[in-house]
Chain A
Amino acid sequence: MIPAAGGRIEVGIPGFDELVHGGLLRGRSTLLAGSTGAGKTVFGLQFLVHGALSGEHGVLVTFAERPEDLIANVKSFGWDLGALVRDGRLAIVDATPTEEMTLSGRFDLAGLTARISHALDKVNGTRLFLDPIDALFEEFSAEVEVRHAFSAMLRTLRPLGATTLIAAERPDENGAVTRYGAKEFAVDNVILLRNVRADERRRRTVEVLKLRGADHHKGETPFVIDKTSGIEVVPVSPIEVDASRSTERISLGNADLDAMCGGGIYRDALMMITGATGTGKTLIGLQFLVAGIDAGERVLYLSFEESQRQLERNAAAWGMDLKTPERAGLLQIVSRYPARVGLEDLRVELKHIVEAFQPTRMVLDSLTAIEHNSPPKAFREFTVGLSGYLKGSGVATMMTTTLPNLLGGDHATDLHLSTIADAILAMRYFDIDSEVRRAILVLKTRGSQHASQMHEYKILETGMSVVGPIKGVRGILAGLAQQTTSGSNGDTRASRLLE
């Protein structure tokens, strides 16, 4: 067999191939290093399964786990290794220890070499995964000899042209790449999988250390192991999708609000709703979704604060029936407690929910609940990444943030999110003459850049009711409401704060 000349081979891990600009170099060897539980086996098997299903057959050499155990362990990812073996798309070489053996003099690994090359031949394999080689070193006490024998084996296999992943245990997260050095393995690339705990959360990252003669993304990139689909790398910077922005406008479910937005919002808009607790953010979100349901659209409510039943009760109090559209399949409510999962996991889960349900509108209530107990960097990656994904998918989205103070005030989250959002709905309490009233302002960041006038609104039993423009009061957004004698309208000074 002549090795394929150049080119790249798609690993089949979402997000990873983009990281290495299309995949691993065909016919080359890559060391896959990581501590116990870092995800090496899942990574390697995903590489094999993806190949097997797309016509690039492979060979798995397992040194530590028995084939039957491996087959059982990865069933939950939807990978049927047994069927792939029966179909001749995959061969498994069982290199786990057999009987007790005695060592006497020099040896090589020709037995294993012959078996691997035979297996590659049998399935016409172009992918090879050795998992993990440490077990081989533990089995033979002669480390130097195993190292020589192993590198001789790789040299013998190389002309067969299989793209090879070699998993090796990393003794600790900050030390050497492997126990046995990396040079001997004569690999072209090293993929480092990390699994660290930071701020009570697990954070997994992947880093490509060396890619001989090829371009790749530098630095660590988070990834998750999804219980049902395997590894997914979560790019830190969103892929900008700006191709065909919609010009169709949809209703927010409230005629006055629609008018304030200039006739509804764009069909693919991302809106931020900011306000203190009790200003009516959830209500605006529900009205927005009900408008979609009334138009026969599928809508999604992601709740990070209230349970599904609480939300249904609140909606019922405003005269909105959520159960009927839920039964009809028009509404899906997903309630999560974000403290329990890592932000990368959450982002991938949300993506899967959106992909499965295909909503045209969604509400995420609230980002603040997600922000609690999250490292700032991880939270920023989460919001930027999620927003980028949602914009690309064209779902009209409302995300709420809860302001810490009852009166006014801007908030760091709002400032960084305001650059992402197409529009911001700022909802504020203000007090004039010992009376607390509510005000709403629409700040558009797409299309016309200036803000609408500040309007007073009330929350009634029937929902939200806009009273009309507020005149003669300024400083509402900043929480410093003052009556003006001139009666100037608008709130341009304060609105500049949020832009």
Chain B
Amino acid sequence: MMLRMYVASDSAPSAQARRQLAVLSESLGGEGWEIEIVDVFEQPALAEEDRILATPVLIRLSPPPRLSVIGDFRDVHAVANALDLEEPAGR
């Protein structure tokens, strides 16, 4: 599974989203997925390509269909659910 997260370097929601991503990756374990973190101000051309409006945003690039979650991911389980990520049973 390929994920990409767009953040805005200096914003509070983006900082919060990074922290929540760490929580999420811990609960997912390290296997079977990759994530790339992109700062929109450093790579605006890539943001243009993905037609990013809001940040932070976490996108499931593959497998299709493309799915995305916008926000600081205060509920990591909801995020996992929205992107159809498989969490280990029992949590």
What residues make up the interface of A, taking CB atoms closer than 8 Å to B?
93-96, 98-115, 117-119, 136, 139-140, 149
- Choose one: B16, B53, B72, B74; the contact of A111 (CB below 8 Å): B53
B76: nearest chain-A partner, CB-CB: A104
What are 15 A-B interface contacts by the 8 Å CB criterion?
A96-B51, A101-B68, A102-B67, A105-B72, A106-B12, A106-B74, A107-B71, A108-B54, A110-B7, A110-B54, A110-B55, A111-B54, A111-B55, A114-B47, A114-B52
Say whether B56 contacts A107, CB under 8 Å: yes
B9: nearest chain-A partner, CB-CB: A110
Say whether A99 contacts B67, CB under 8 Å: yes
Say whether A104 contacts B41, CB under 8 Å: no
Say whether A115 contacts B54, CB under 8 Å: no
Say whether A110 contacts B68, CB under 8 Å: no
Contact with A along B20-55 (1 / 0, CB 8 A): 000000000000000000001100110110111111
Say whether A95 contacts B47, CB under 8 Å: no
Q: What residues on A are CB-neighbors of B55 within 8 Å? A: 107-111
Say whether A111 contacts B45, CB under 8 Å: no
Cα–Cα distance between A107 and B5 once the two chains are bound (Å): 13
Cα–Cα distance between A147 and B1 once the two chains are bound (Å): 34
- Choose one: A94, A105, A136, A139; the contact of B71 (CB below 8 Å): A105
A140: nearest chain-B partner, CB-CB: B54
Cα–Cα distance between A113 and B54 once the two chains are bound (Å): 9
4 A-B pairs closest in CB distance:
A110-B8, A111-B52, A118-B44, A105-B71
Q: Give, as a whole number of angstroms, the nearest-CB distance from A341 to chain B.
A: 41
Q: What residues on A are CB-neighbors of B79 within 8 Å? A: 102, 104
Cα–Cα distance between A94 and B52 once the two chains are bound (Å): 9
Say whether B73 contacts A111, CB under 8 Å: no
Say whether B51 contacts A110, CB under 8 Å: no
B14: nearest chain-A partner, CB-CB: A110
Cα–Cα distance between A136 and B70 once the two chains are bound (Å): 14
Asked whether B63 is an interface residue with its Cβ less than 8 Å from the other chain, the reply is: no
Q: What residues on A are CB-neighbors of B88 within 8 Å? A: none
Q: What residues on B are CB-neighbors of A136 within 8 Å? A: 53
Cα–Cα distance between A253 and B70 once the two chains are bound (Å): 78
Cα–Cα distance between A308 and B57 once the two chains are bound (Å): 65
Say whether A106 contacts B16, CB under 8 Å: yes
- Choose one: B11, B16, B73, B78; the contact of A110 (CB below 8 Å): B11
Q: What residues on B are CB-neighbors of A102 within 8 Å? A: 67-70, 78-79, 82
Q: What residues on B are CB-neighbors of A105 within 8 Å? A: 13, 16-17, 71-75
Asked whether B66 is an interface residue with its Cβ less than 8 Å from the other chain, the reply is: yes
Cα–Cα distance between A118 and B71 once the two chains are bound (Å): 23
Say whether B65 contacts A111, CB under 8 Å: no
Q: What residues on A are CB-neighbors of B71 within 8 Å? A: 103-107
Say whether A103 contacts B67, CB under 8 Å: no
Q: Give, as a whole number of angstroms, the nearest-CB distance from A248 to chain B.
A: 62
A96: nearest chain-B partner, CB-CB: B51
Q: By CB atoms of chain B within 10 A, which of A93, A96, A107, A108 has the most?
A: A107
Say whether B70 contacts A114, CB under 8 Å: no
Q: What residues on A are CB-neighbors of B44 within 8 Å? A: 114-115, 117-118
Say whether B12 contacts A114, CB under 8 Å: no
Say whether B51 contacts A98, CB under 8 Å: yes
Q: What residues on A are CB-neighbors of B82 within 8 Å? A: 102, 104
